[in-house]
Amino acid sequence: MMLHIPAVLSPDEVLRFREKLAGADWVDGRRTVGYQGALVKRNRQLPEDAPVSLELGTLVEHALKRSGLYFSAALPLRTSPILFNRYDSAAQDHYGFHVDGAMRGIAAAPGWMRTDLSATLFLSEPESYEGGELTVSDTYGQHEVKLPAGDMILYPSTSLHGVADVVKGVRIGAFFWIQSMIRYDHQRTMLYELDQAIQALRAKHGESPQTLTLSNHYHNLLREWSQV
């Protein structure tokens, strides 16, 4: 399931992020990928331990906690550190089709996390650059994504994906990975759709025996399927 999550950051927050990132010290993005990714990746990133990266990453984490839609769709168990990237038309930046690694180590925590979901949070307004679409390929074809600043796209990490050439302007964004409580995408999708239906029924009719029954099924499925 791909899901557009609007307004993760407010316009004021986006402006603050862009001001902070304007003077950041960007490095070659190939430093953070393996052999296959390095062959097709051309962009700049902030070092994970850079003070501005840590500061803004914490703000993104707080913003995600405000989003009930994000929690409903991702059911996050573990989240990677928030990273920031920059695609500049002057450097002909792009990222060819690739697959994200199944496991990621986290410097601040022992062990590994499984990458079930990938997320891109757009920080540049779409009219400020040309190209730079996130393209996700799945069994239904290729989907091009270019969202307003502050909006986020969530999609399965199992998907082949890439970023088209930026031919004018600069594209800045944040990205990260999620290990979900629910490992399999089809199960997460069913739980998400059930949760959204329950919320819609409650908003329209209030609490009822029917919404209580559906909520019971939702939580029992979550118990049965969760990897926690």
pLDDT bucket at 29, cuts 50 / 70 / 90: very high
Per-residue confidence (pLDDT) for residue 76, from 0 to 100: 98
Per-residue confidence (pLDDT) for residue 106, from 0 to 100: 83
pLDDT of residue 134 exceeding 90, the answer is yes
Helix (H) or strand (E) holding 167: strand 166-180
b or e along 3-38 (b: 16 or more beta carbons within 10 Å of the residue's beta carbon)? bebebbbeeebbeebeebbeebebeebbeebeeebe
pLDDT of residue 9 exceeding 80, the answer is yes
* Domain 185-225 of CATH type 4.10.860: yes
Per-residue confidence (pLDDT) for residue 154, from 0 to 100: 98
Least confident piece of the model among 71-80, 104-113, 154-163 = 104-113
pLDDT of residue 111 exceeding 90, the answer is no
159-201 residue pLDDT tens: 999 999 999 999 999 999 999 999 999 999 999 999 999 999 9
b or e along 77-92 (b: 16 or more beta carbons within 10 Å of the residue's beta carbon)? bbbbbbbbbbbbbeee
- Output 196 or 23, whichever has higher pLDDT: 196
Per-residue confidence (pLDDT) for residue 109, from 0 to 100: 72
pLDDT of residue 42 exceeding 80, the answer is yes
At position 174, the amino acid (one-letter code) is A
* Domain 3-180 of CATH type 2.60.120.620: yes
pLDDT of residue 35 exceeding 80, the answer is no
Return all residues near 165 (Cβ < 8 A) that are at least 6 apart: 92, 93, 94, 131, 132
73-102 residue pLDDT tens: 999 999 999 999 999 999 999 999 999 999
How large a percentage of the chain has pLDDT more than 90?
Answer: 90
Can you tell me the mean pLDDT for 122-149?
A: 97
pLDDT of residue 32 exceeding 80, the answer is no
Q: What is the pTM of this model?
A: 0.96
- Which regions of the chain carry the CATH code 4.10.860? 185-225
What are the backbone dihedrals phi and psi of residue 132, each rounded to the nearest 5 degrees, phi first? 75, 15
Name the token pair of 223. 């118990």
* CA dist., res. 87 & res. 147, Å (int): 15
Return all residues near 21 (Cβ < 8 A) that are at least 6 apart: 46, 52, 56, 84, 86, 123, 172
3-class DSSP state for residue 125? coil
